[in-house]
Structure 1
C-alpha cells in the first residue's frame, strides 16, 4: 500500500477537485494525507451563519475536518498561510497571504510532510490553478517544487476536462431552463489530459463532503448538490489529472497504481 498526499489552497477545494480519488485511495487501503495552504479566511459566509465571536477561519477549519473524515483522510495539515482572496483583491498582497509566500519557504514546509509520510504520490493543480485563482496557481508552484525537494516520485496536476464540463453545463442549463452562466475558462482541453479516474462508485461520499462545507454552500452550488444521484454522478464521477512526461492522450486511470 502507498501514501497519497493531496495539496490544496482552501478548505473545500480538495472535495470539489479530488474528493473522489481521496475516498477511492482510502477504500483501496492507501494512506491519505490532506494539506491545505490556508484556512479560507476570505471565503463565503452567509449572513447569520457564524456564532457570536466565531471567525470564518474557525468554521472552515471545522468543516475541513468533517469533510476529511467523510473522505477517509488519515492526516489533515495546514501550512499556516492566509487566504489571498480573489485575484483582484487588495488584501491578497498583504504579508502572510499564500499568494505572497516565498515559494522556496513554502515548498520546504510541504516537502517536510512529504518526507515524513514517505509519499508515493502528490496532487497539486495545473499551472493555471484550474481557473486562474492566485492561491491555486501558487499551489502548483509550491507543490511542484516541494516534490523536487522531497524526491516524491509521482506528481499529478489536478485539472478539469474543459470539454466535458462545457457539455454538462449546457445540458444542465437546458434541463433547468436557465441561461448558461459566463465565467472564467476552466481547466484543460481533453487532448492534454493524461489521467482519468472513474470515481463514480464513491460520489455519495463526495456529495456528503461537499455538504460538510456549510459556509460555502450558495444558491448556485445547491443547484448541483441537490441534483438527483444519477446526474450528480454524471457530473462529478470522473476526476482528471496531468502528469508530466505522460501521454499524448490518457495513459493512466489510477493515481495509486
Structure 2
C-alpha cells in the first residue's frame, strides 16, 4: 500500500497522524509526506519569516525520519496565519483550489497512491490553511483517482470528556474552541486507529518540532503533550481518528484501514 499524507504545516503531521504514519511504515507500507507550507507565520520565540520557515523545514525532515516516511514534498505556498491575514504573496488559503489540487495530484499519480490523508470538513479547528487542505485534498484525490481518502480529525466527544476529566481545558489548548464547528463527533468517525505501539515514534516526531514548543502567549500543545507522563500520554495520544471518503478497494489490506467498531 502507498499512503500519501497531506498537511498544512510542519508539526501537523506529528500531532494528527504521527502514530498512523509510523504504524503504516512499520507494517511495510510506503509513506509519503506532503505539506502545503513551511509554517513561516507560526508562533516561535524568534519568528523571522523565511528564517523560521527554513528552521521548520529542517524540523519537518527530522519528524518524517522519525516516523519512517520514504519521501517528503513541500508544495511551496506561504503560511496564511491563524486568522488568515499573514502578509505573504502566496498564502495557501488564497491559492486557487484547482491549481493546488493539480500539484498534489501529480505527486499522487507518480506514487500511484492507494490512500490519501487530508483533514475533515472543519479543517480540524478552522485554521484557513487546514480548510484549504480539506478542499485541495478532496479535489486532488478525484483528479488522481485515489480510491480512499481518510480525513484526519479528533473525536470531539472524547476530547471534551478527556479535557473535562483532566482539568486541562484551559491549560492544554487555551485558544481552541470546542463547539460544534471543530473536529468531528464520534458518530461520524469511520476509523479509530490504535497507535499505542508507535508512541515512541510519535514522541520523537513531536520533539523534532522544537520551534513550536517555544514562544506564544500561553502553553503550546506540543510542549504540554511532551510533558505528560507515559500513561497519560498514552491515554491522550494513543489513538488517532479519520473520516473515510470513498470505498475500501478490494485487495487493500491493512489493520488500521478496518472501520472503527
TM-score over 0.5 for the pair: yes
Runs of 4+ in 1 over 6 A off after TM superposition: 176-180
Residue 255 (str. 1) matches residue 244 (str. 2): no
2:109 — aligned with what?
Answer: 115
Q: Given the superposition, is the C-alpha separation of residues 179 and 77 from structure 1 closer, same or farther in structure 2, using an over 3 Å criterion?
A: closer
1:33: which partner in 2? 32
| Residues 178 and 118 of structure 1, relative CA distance in 2, 3 Å threshold | closer
**Residues 191-210 of structure 1 correspond to what in structure 2 (within 5 A)?**
191-210=187-206
Give a deviation string over 1:83-124, Cα, whole Å, max 9, x none: 000125253xx5411011011110000000000000000000
Does the Cα contact within 8 Å between 1:4 and 1:122 map onto a contact in 2? Answer: yes
CA RMSD of the aligned region, Å?
Answer: 2.5
Is 1:134 matched with 2:128? Answer: yes
**Superposition deviation, residue 220 in structure 1:** 3.5
Match of 1:67 in 2: 63
CA contact (8 A) 1:127 1:137 kept: yes
Structure 1 residues 181 and 90: CA distance shift in structure 2, 3 A:
closer
Structure 1: any 5+ residue segments left out of the alignment? 247-251
TM-score, normalising length from structure 1? 0.88
Count of residues in Structure 1 that have an aligned counterpart in Structure 2 = 245
Query: What corresponds to 1:23 in structure 2?
Result: 22
Say if 1:226 and 1:123 are closer, same or farther in 2 by CA, change over 3 A: same
2:226 aligns to what?
225
Q: Does 1:236 align with 2:237?
A: yes
Return 5+ residue gaps in structure 2 as ranges: 248-253
Q: 2:7 aligns to what? A: 8
Cα distance change on mapping 1:131 and 1:116 into 2, 3 Å:
same
Output the TM-score relative to the length of structure 2.
0.87
- Equivalent residue, structure 2, for 1:249: none
Q: Once the 2 structures are TM-superposed, how far is the Cα of residue 182 of structure 1 from its aligned partner?
A: 6.2
Distance 1:195 1:40, change over 3 A: same
- The DSSP-based 3-state class of the residue aligned with 1:240 is strand
Judge conservation of contact 2:147–2:246 (CA < 8 Å) in 1.
no
Asked whether the equivalents of residues 173 and 180 of structure 1 are also in contact (C-alpha less than 8 Å), the reply is: no
